[in-house]
Structure 1
Amino acid sequence: MKISRVIAIAAILLYACTTEGQPLVVKADKPTAAIQPTMWGIFFEDINLAADGGLYAELVKNRSFEFASPLMGWTIQQASPGTGNILVTNRLETDSANPRYIRVTRNTAKGKFGLTNEGFRGMGIKQNEQYNFTVWAKSETGNIELHVQLVDSTGRALGESQPINISGNNWQQYKTSFTATATELKARMNVWFEGEGVADIDMLSLFPQHTWKQRPNGLRADLVQLLADMKPGFLRFPGGCIVEGRELATRYQWKKTVGPVEDRQVIVNRWNTEFAHRPTPDYFQSFGLGFFEYFQVAEDIGATPLPILNCGMACQFNSAEVVDTTQLDPYIQDALDLIEFANGDVSTKWGHLREVMGHPDPFNLKLLGIGNEQWGPQYVERYKIFTKAIKYKYPEIQLVNSVGPSPDDERFHYLNDTLRKLNADILDEHYYSSPSWFQNNANRYDDYDRNGPKIFAGEYAAQSVATVSPLNKNNWLCALSEAAFMTGLERNADIVQMASYAPLFAHVEGWQWTPDLIWFDNLNSFGTPNYYVQKLFANNKGDNVVAITSDNKTLKGSDSLYASAVTSTANEVILKIVNTSSRSISKQISIDTKRKLAAKATVTTLQSNDLNTVNSIESPKDISPLVSEAEIKSRQLNLVLHPYSFTVIHIKMQ
Structure 2
Amino acid sequence: MLQTKFWSIAASLLLASSPFCAQAQPSPLVRVNVAQPVADIQPTMWGVFFEDINFGADGGIYAELVKNRSFEFFKPLMGWKVDGKKRTEGDVLIQNRQEKSTSNPRYVRITTSNAGQGDLSMTNEGFRGMGIKPGLRYDFSVLYRVQSGNIKLHVDLLNAKDEVIGSGLLTPQQSDKSWHKQQISFKSTAGESKATLRLWFEGTGMVDLDMISLFPEDTWKGRPGGMRADMIQMLADMKPGFVRFPGGCIVEGYDLDQRYQWKKTLGPAEDRQLIINRWNFEFGHRPAPDYFQTFGLGFLEYFQLCEDIGAEPLPILNCGMACQFNTAELVPMDQLDPYVQDAIDLIEFANGDGSTKWGKVRADLGHPKPFNLKFLGVGNENWGPQYVERLAVFQKAIKEKYPAMRLVCSSGTDPNGDRFDYLNGKLREMKADLIDEHYYRRPEWFLQNVNRYDSYPRTGSKVFAGEWAAQSDKTVSVNNKNNWQCALSEAAFMTGLERNAAVVNMASYAPLFAHADGWQWTPDLIWVDNLRVYGTPNYYVQKLYSLNKGTNVLSLTQGNEPLAGQDSLYASAAWDKATNDVILKIANVSDKAQARTFQLDGAKKLAPTGRLTLLKNNTLDAVNSFENATNVSPVDQQIPVDVKKKTISLTLAPRSFSVVRVKVL
In structure 1, the partner of 2:659 is 648
Contact 2:315 2:377 in 1 (8 A): yes
Corresponding residue number in structure 1 for 2:628: 619
Conserved in 2, the CA contact under 8 Å of 1:78 and 1:84?
no
Equivalent of 2:312, from 291, 299, 304? 304
1:63 aligns with 69
Mapping of 1:337-416 within 5 angstroms? 337-416=345-424
Amino acid at match of 2:426: T
Of stretches 424-433 and 18-27 in structure 1, the one that deviates more from structure 2 is 18-27
Task: From 603, 606, 615, give the equivalent of 1:606.
Answer: 615
Counterparts of 1:84 and 1:415, CA distance in 2? 58
Distance 1:325 1:144 in 2: 55
Pick from 32, 40, 46 the counterpart of residue 34 of structure 1: 40
Aligned to 1:129: 136
- Structure 1 residues 385-426: Cα deviation after superposition (integer angstroms, max 9, x where no partner): 111111111111110000110000111000001111111111
Q: How many residues align?
A: 639
CA RMSD in angstroms comes to: 1.1
Given candidates 206, 213, 218, the residue that maps to 1:205 is 213
Q: Which residue of 2 aligns with 1:6?
A: none
Q: Does 1:594 find its partner at 2:603?
A: yes
Distance (Å, rounded) in 1 between the aligned partners of 2:157 and 2:89: 22
Cα distance, 1:19 vs structure 2: 6.3
Give the aligned partner of residue 10 of structure 1: none
Equivalents in 2 of 1:594, 1:139: separation in Å?
Answer: 77
Paired residues of 2:383 and 2:419 also in contact (CA < 8 A): yes
Q: Does 1:23 align with 2:29?
A: yes
Which residue of structure 1 lines up, in the alignment, with residue 14 of structure 2?
none
Please state if 1:171 is matched with 2:182: no
Q: Distance in 1 between matches of 2:351 and 2:122?
A: 44
C-alpha deviation, 1:623, in angstroms: 0.2
1:119 counterpart SS class:
coil
**1:53 aligns to what?**
59
2:202 maps to 194
**Aligned partner of 1:106: which letter?**
T
Q: Say whether 1:150 aligns with 2:151.
A: no
> Contact 1:342–1:362 (CA<8 Å) still a contact in 2?
yes
How many Å separate the matches in 2 of 1:79 and 1:359?
49
CA contact (8 A) 1:405 1:430 kept: yes
Aligned partners of 1:340 and 1:351 also within 8 Å: yes
- For residue 21 of structure 1, report the CA deviation from its aligned partner: 4.7
CA drift of 1:22 comes to 2.3
The answer to whether the 8 A contact 2:499-2:553 is kept is: yes
- Written as runs of structure 1 = structure 2, the 5 A alignment for 1:254-269 is 254-269=262-277
Q: How does 1:501-512 map to 2 (within 5 A)?
A: 501-512=509-520
TM-score, structure 2 as length reference: 0.95
- Paired amino acid for 1:494: A
1:412 to 1:140, Cα distance in 2 relative to 1, 3 A: same
Query: What stretches of structure 1 of length at least 5 have no aligned partner?
Result: 1-15
Q: Secondary structure at the match of 2:181?
A: strand
- Is contact 2:123-2:199 (8 Å) kept? yes
1:421 to 405, 421, 429: 429
What is the one-letter code of the residue matched to 1:543?
A: T
- Partner secondary structure for residue 380 of structure 1: helix
Query: Please, which moves more after superposition, 109-118 or 130-139?
Result: 109-118
**1:541 Cα deviation from its structure 2 partner:** 0.2
| Pairwise CA distance, 1:574 | 0.4
Q: Tell me what 1:479 maps to.
A: 487
Query: 2:244 is matched with which residue?
Result: 236
Instruction: Name the amino acid aligned to 1:99.
Output: P
92, 97, 117: which is aligned to 2:98? 92
Query: Aligned to 1:43, which of 39, 44, 49?
Result: 49
**What's the secondary structure of 2:458's corresponding residue?**
coil
Q: What is the one-letter code of the residue matched to 1:62?
A: N
CA distance in 2: counterparts of 1:65 and 1:368, whole angstroms: 34
Decide whether the 8 Å contact of 1:19 with 1:586 is kept in 2: no
AA aligned opposite 1:380: V
1:211-290 superposed matches below 5 A: 211-290=219-298
**Cα distance between partner residues in 2 of 1:581 and 1:594:** 31
Given the alignment of the two structures, is residue 553 of structure 1 paired with residue 561 of structure 2, yes or no? yes
CA contact (8 A) 1:137 1:166 kept: no
**2:662 maps to amino acid:** I
What is the one-letter code of the residue matched to 1:600?
T
Residues 451, 564 of structure 2: 8 Å contact kept: yes
* Residue 20 of structure 1, CA deviation: 5.2
Alignment gaps of 5+ in structure 2 = 1-21
- Partner SS state of residue 508, structure 2: strand
1:493 to 470, 485, 501: 501
1:541 matched to 2:552? The reply is no
Query: Which deviations, in whole Å up to 9, do the C-alpha atoms of 1:141-169 show, x marking residues without a partner?
Result: 11111121100111111100133234322
Please list, as runs of the form range in 1=range in 2, the aligned pairs for 1:622-637 lying within 5 A after superposition.
Answer: 622-633=631-642, 634=644, 635-637=646-648
**More divergent stretch after superposition (378-387 vs 162-171):** 162-171
- Equivalent positions of 1:435-474 (< 5 A) are 435-474=443-482
Q: Partner of 2:3 in structure 1?
A: none
- What is the alpha-carbon distance in structure 2 between the residues aligned to residue 177 and residue 550 of structure 1? 64
